[in-house]
Chain A
Amino acid sequence: MVRKQAARNGTQTLIAFENAAYSYGGGELLSEITLRLAPGSFHFLTGPSGSGKSTFLKLCYAELLPTAGRVTLFDREVRDLSRDDVALTRRRIGVVHQDCQFLDHLPLSSNVALPLIVAGRTTATGDLQDLLTWVGLGPLATALPPSLSGGERQRAALARAIIMGPDVILADEPTGNLDWEMSLRLLTLLVELNRMGKTILVATHDLNVIRQAKSQIAARVLRIAKRRIQLAGADL
């Protein structure tokens, strides 16, 4: 699978920022961001609350457009993407949102299968059940999202993010509302996915999670400070 993933990605740049900036309400939130996410890499993005971590992730899946510089997704400049192109690009990027973003009127299985449904693809019920079991939610397929705990919701969001077999997985504070045990469980799933060849970027302010991950995998840590992103040192 890793080989297949690598062949699919080739030498393609998955996500690249070139001197990109994002301004909002007259003030610059992010500036002079230059960064490339290599296929199969694992990055953490850290920084204090309000530093722009979520904004950076939104730029990564074209929910926001840079106000200066260039952001390239799969070798295509985001400003050149039509609305349909944006939709198709998002099918290659799995996102675990901080607030999960579920459709509360649909059962968990439908929420997890949502990317497949909107893409007009089908999945075998067994495959979907396998995926739910893999994230530890096998018995909850018919449950509605509001009845789930924080940890269950985050794992369901992860299952939805990976169901399309995306090239990149972005996670925004996935352990923000979880206890340590549940955080480790989610982290383990992300590490497993990275070992399967997925490119992972996790925005978190939890340094313990980062330390734990670095003990298992070669992850790079990026830090947002003074509106810029820099590679963090070994002081974490």
Chain B
Amino acid sequence: MVPPSGASAWLTSFTSGAMTFLAVFAMALSLASGKLANRWAEALDRTATVRISAPEDQMAIQTKAVLEVLKTTPGIAEARALTPEESTKLLEPWFGPDLPLQDLPLPQLVAVTETGAGYDAEGLRQRLAAEAPGAVLDDHLRWRRPMAEAAGRLRLLGLLSIVLIGLAMAAMITLAANAALAANAQVIRVLRLVGARDTYIARAFVRRFTLRAASGALAGVVLGLIGVALLPAQDAAGGFLTGLGFSGLGWLLPLVLVPLAALVAFLATRTAAFRTLKRLT
């Protein structure tokens, strides 16, 4: 019933396509940052360090006591005292390879690997304090917490971007729908005069805008996926910036944006149509 309209059709399809294109990248960014932060957190999550600072004559005794305590602690898969070479290698980035570190009173480090079930950190601290007064347990909590927070915020930012993109799309489609409704005021008037209900008239516009938004979104998603696929593959040197993308069935996830865009268009056009129709007799 409604004549084809050029500008609003083009605007709706283009807006929907452009917004979903951006949403694909926001989705990829959100997923990649989440995955990366999870990987970091997981790596830190499974390990802990015991640092032993004791007089030279006490060092070996306390190290042995610490290893004994760790061996009998439930939830500890492995505990190993780092060799002086390993400790030196850890400090190399800060002091360089030539510094005579063997002359410095370095603490003895014990690398601890947890089991999946984990251990009771507070109980272990108390036992270490009793058996080796110079031992301090670092369970990496102070590293893990900011990592988890950063991961959560990055995910939130990604989701917020998608929501904002959705709202911007709704606003643009509402404007396009209002323009189409205004351009077709005479058609609407005639339909009302011959006995059309508001739902019938609104449906004609809603169907058209929903289909346009869905087709535009499909094009946007396809272009977005091509864009993401063309980004450089993950590389250790590139770190975060090269980790963007989907994996496996994750490549199908952006297709969710097509019905979402259609839903946004449906709601925006329906609201605009009924608001306009209410003003007519």
Taking beta carbons and an 8 Å cutoff, which residues of A are in contact with B? 61-65, 83-84, 86-88, 90-91, 95, 97, 101-103, 105-106, 114-115, 117-119, 160, 164
Other-chain residue from A63, A88, A101, A102 in contact with B195 (beta carbon distance below 8 A): A88
- A91-B194, A119-B195 known; 20 new pairs, CB 8 Å cut-off, are A63-B193, A64-B281, A65-B281, A87-B192, A87-B195, A87-B196, A88-B195, A91-B195, A95-B193, A101-B190, A103-B187, A106-B1, A114-B1, A114-B191, A114-B194, A115-B194, A117-B1, A118-B194, A118-B197, A118-B200
Chain A residues, Cβ within 8 Å of B187: 103
Per the CB 8 Å criterion, the residue count for chain B at the interface is: 17
* Beta-carbon nearest neighbor of B200 in chain A: A118
Tally of A-B Cβ pairs under 8 angstroms:
55
* Beta-carbon nearest neighbor of A160 in chain B: B194
Other-chain residue from B3, B197, B278 in contact with A87 (beta carbon distance below 8 A): B197
Closest-CB distance, A129 to chain B (whole angstroms): 20
Chain A residues, Cβ within 8 Å of B195: 87-88, 90-91, 115, 118-119, 164
Is B131 positioned at the interface, with any CB of A under 8 Å from its CB? Answer: no
- 30 A-B contacts, Cβ less than 8 Å apart? A62-B281, A63-B193, A63-B281, A64-B281, A83-B277, A83-B278, A84-B197, A84-B198, A86-B281, A87-B192, A87-B196, A87-B197, A88-B195, A88-B197, A95-B193, A101-B189, A101-B190, A101-B193, A103-B1, A103-B190, A105-B3, A114-B190, A114-B191, A114-B194, A115-B194, A118-B1, A118-B191, A118-B195, A118-B197, A119-B195
State whether A90 touches B193 (Cβ < 8 A).
Answer: yes
Chain B residues, Cβ within 8 Å of A114: 1, 190-191, 194
* Beta-carbon nearest neighbor of B196 in chain A: A118
Q: How far is the CA of A118 from the CA of B191 in the complex (A)?
A: 7
Q: How far is the CA of A105 from the CA of B4 in the complex (A)?
A: 9
Chain A residues, Cβ within 8 Å of B1: 103, 106, 114, 117-118
Q: How far is the CA of A61 from the CA of B195 in the complex (A)?
A: 10
Closest-CB distance, B279 to chain A (whole angstroms): 11
Q: How far is the CA of A97 from the CA of B192 in the complex (A)?
A: 13
Chain A residues, Cβ within 8 Å of B193: 61, 63, 90, 95, 97, 101
Closest-CB distance, A80 to chain B (whole angstroms): 15
Chain B residues, Cβ within 8 Å of A86: 281
Other-chain residue from A62, A64, A83, A160 in contact with B198 (beta carbon distance below 8 A): A83
Q: How far is the CA of A117 from the CA of B187 in the complex (A)?
A: 14
Q: How far is the CA of A213 from the CA of B194 in the complex (A)?
A: 27
Cβ < 8 Å to A, chain B residues 119-150: none
Q: How far is the CA of A110 from the CA of B281 in the complex (A)?
A: 24
